[in-house]
Amino acid sequence: MTKPKLIKEKRGTLLRLTKILFEHKIHLIIALVLMIGANTLALIGPKLSGQAIDAIGENIGQVNFSEVYKYCLLMIGVYVISSILSYTLSVSMIRLSQKITYKMRQSVFDHLLDLPVGYFNDTQIGELISRISYDIDTINTSLSNDLLQIITGSITVIGSLWMMITLSWQLTLVFVITVPISIAFARYKTTKIRPLFRNRSKKLGELNGFSEEMLSGQKTIKAYNQEEEILRRFDEKNKDAMQAYYEADYQGSMIGPSVNFVNNLSLSLVSVFGALLYLASSISLGNISSFVLYSRKFSGPINETANIMSELQSALAAAERVFKLLDEPIEIKDKESAINLENTKGNVTAEHVQFGYDVDKLIIHDLNFEALSGKTVAIVGPTGAGKTTIINLLMRFYDVNSGVICVDKHDVRNLTRKSLRKSYAMVLQDTWLFGGTIYENISYGSNNATYEQVIECAKAAHIHNYIEQLPQGYDTALNDDGVNISKGQKQLLTIARAMLADANMLILDEATSNVDSRTEMLIQNAMLKLMEGKTCFVIAHRLSTIQHADLILVLKDGDIIEQGNHESLLKKKGFYASLYNSQFEN
């Protein structure tokens, strides 16, 4: 990436962070008042210290202790009040950063829900988790600590510089030489280390993504004895992340000590030239003392800024990753003229549909079918024929490249996605349950479902007896994704959920793939009863499960090559008949 582009990105990131901050103007104004008050009082202290020393120096042998006590008490007072204001400021900034972090995390999560399904197919979940947690936490730390230090430091530097000029403009000339050296070095190192922190965040995201993927596949890893291979690959990812951390932190840690050395050199020069001016009676001893204190206040924030420069670069890199996620294009919005699908009958048609996940590579070439209201349509075919793709198009997870899909004679592109998807109930081969009770999982998507309705659907799905045997019945809490129950039981729960949903169309994608043959037969009978009056789309590899379908669409290479009911397709002795017979061959 070219240097001008890097500078432009950095400015853009800073501008966006600033806009987020200015959404809390009142909080910022209060914080600014506290900053100015705390730093102004802190800057008065060294002046009072110098006056106390001069009071002693002018009256050697007959010290006016009342004058000394007065300055000392004033110093104690201003420092105490300054500390209280600083404490209040810190608490205020922590609250502000938490509010910003909360809103930013909420914005990221809301944006994730608006992203198209295809984005999640191309992005590791661990990478997204890293942005929601680590990157936003890094920004939070920078806002609550680093930003506070920079702003208060800036006020201190300006105030100290003014006080030093009023005390001795000659000594202030020392900093005319040393400060530019510090700034030039810090800027040079910053341009070098920023890409390192960007790489550090990237490598951590890759490590998180790999860890999440491997932890979710522990059974498969152990079944295939791949522990050593996974450990080797994790070791590589871990070393890459560690090396990225080392390079970024190593280069970042050089800034603070180098700038600190230059500032200490400034203090040495101030001491030497201050002594010469004192001997020439151009400055008092008290003013030299005050000047030294102010010079330390002047150089202190510069040192602190240099020390936290690496943290700031890390925060900017994290902010870039978060903003990049927020800039991902969301799912295409509904047309302004889009209407809600109401009183759904369930007549679904597809006319000359073409579609490909990549524009140049079509999966569906010329799809045509008609699913009448209340009928069951089975979609069969070999792996990769396009069965799941058709479901994605029906649900409008993707829009067709050409052609049209209609529900009740409405082009789905003219319907709101929410109303269209609410018209479908869905049971997928990959079951999904969340951390909650069994009742909450079954009633998911059915806002006003009663316990009686949930129990009725559980009975129909032949999972009621199992639930009743659990210690807390329907109030039993499931672990994340239901890992504390069997895969077949998870499938039954998702079937019960689909039965409960108030939808006139139903999609079953290998819905009985994880249950035994006896349970499958029971579920089929129950499903036939509960599917009455609903338009059902069933994807099945076991063709014995779809013999009662009103219409069977036989897909091959993205085209419907045969369609009809079970008996008519067997009589044709075509591709469907060969698929069906192959499942019963020895």
- 261-312 pLDDT per residue, tens: 776 777 777 777 777 777 777 777 777 777 777 777 777 676 666 666 667 7
Is residue 406 pLDDT above 90, yes or no?
Answer: yes
Q: Which residues of the chain are in CATH 3.40.50.300 domains? A: 332-423+506-517+537-586
* DSSP secondary structure letter of residue 333: P
Summarize pLDDT for 314-350 with one digit per residue, the tens.
Answer: 788 888 888 888 888 888 888 888 888 888 888 999 9
**How much is the pLDDT for 480?**
61
Is residue 516 pLDDT above 80, yes or no?
Answer: no
Range of lowest pLDDT (115-119, 238-242, 350-354): 115-119
Is residue 3 pLDDT above 60, yes or no?
Answer: no
Q: What value does the mean pLDDT of the chain take?
A: 79
Task: Tell me the percentage of the chain whose pLDDT exceeds 90.
Answer: 2
What would the mean pLDDT of 82-86 be, rounded to a whole number?
Answer: 87
Is residue 439 pLDDT above 90, yes or no?
Answer: no
C-beta of residue 344 within 8 angstroms of C-beta of residue 505: yes
Residue 586 pLDDT grade (very low, low, confident, very high; cuts 50, 70, 90)? very low
Angle of the 25-57 helix axis to the 147-167 helix axis, nearest 10? 30
Residue 405 pLDDT grade (very low, low, confident, very high; cuts 50, 70, 90)? very high
**How much is the pLDDT for 407?**
92
Q: Where are the alpha helices (DSSP H) in 505-564?
A: 517-530
Q: Both tokens of residue 193?
A: 């280390």
Range of lowest pLDDT (90-94, 365-369, 498-502): 498-502
Phi-psi region of 81 (alpha: psi -120 to 50; beta: other; left: phi over 0): alpha
How far, in Å, CA of 444 to CA of 310, rounded?
46
C-beta of residue 432 within 8 angstroms of C-beta of residue 482: no
Residue 434: Cβ within 10 Å count: 12
Range of lowest pLDDT (31-35, 65-69, 477-481): 477-481
pTM score over 0.75: no
**How far does CA 355 lie from the centroid of its chain?**
31
Which residue(s) pair with 425 in the sheet? 506
**How much is the pLDDT for 585?**
57
Residue type, 104: M
Give the H or E element holding residue 425. strand 424-427
**How much is the pLDDT for 282?**
75
What would the mean pLDDT of 95-108 be, rounded to a whole number?
Answer: 85
Is residue 6 pLDDT above 60, yes or no?
Answer: no
DSSP string across 280-313: TTSS-HHHHHHHHHHHHHHHHHHHHHHHTHHHHH
How far, in Å, CA of 40 to CA of 578, rounded?
89
Q: Both tokens of residue 307?
A: 């020390």
Maximum distance among all alpha carbons in the chain? Answer: 125
Q: Which residues of the chain are in CATH 1.20.1560.10 domains? A: 12-326
Name the more confident of 532 and 40: 40
Tell me the CATH number for domain 12-326.
Answer: 1.20.1560.10
What would the mean pLDDT of 515-519 be, rounded to a whole number?
Answer: 66
**How much is the pLDDT for 304?**
67
Query: Which class would CATH give 332-423+506-517+537-586?
Result: alpha beta
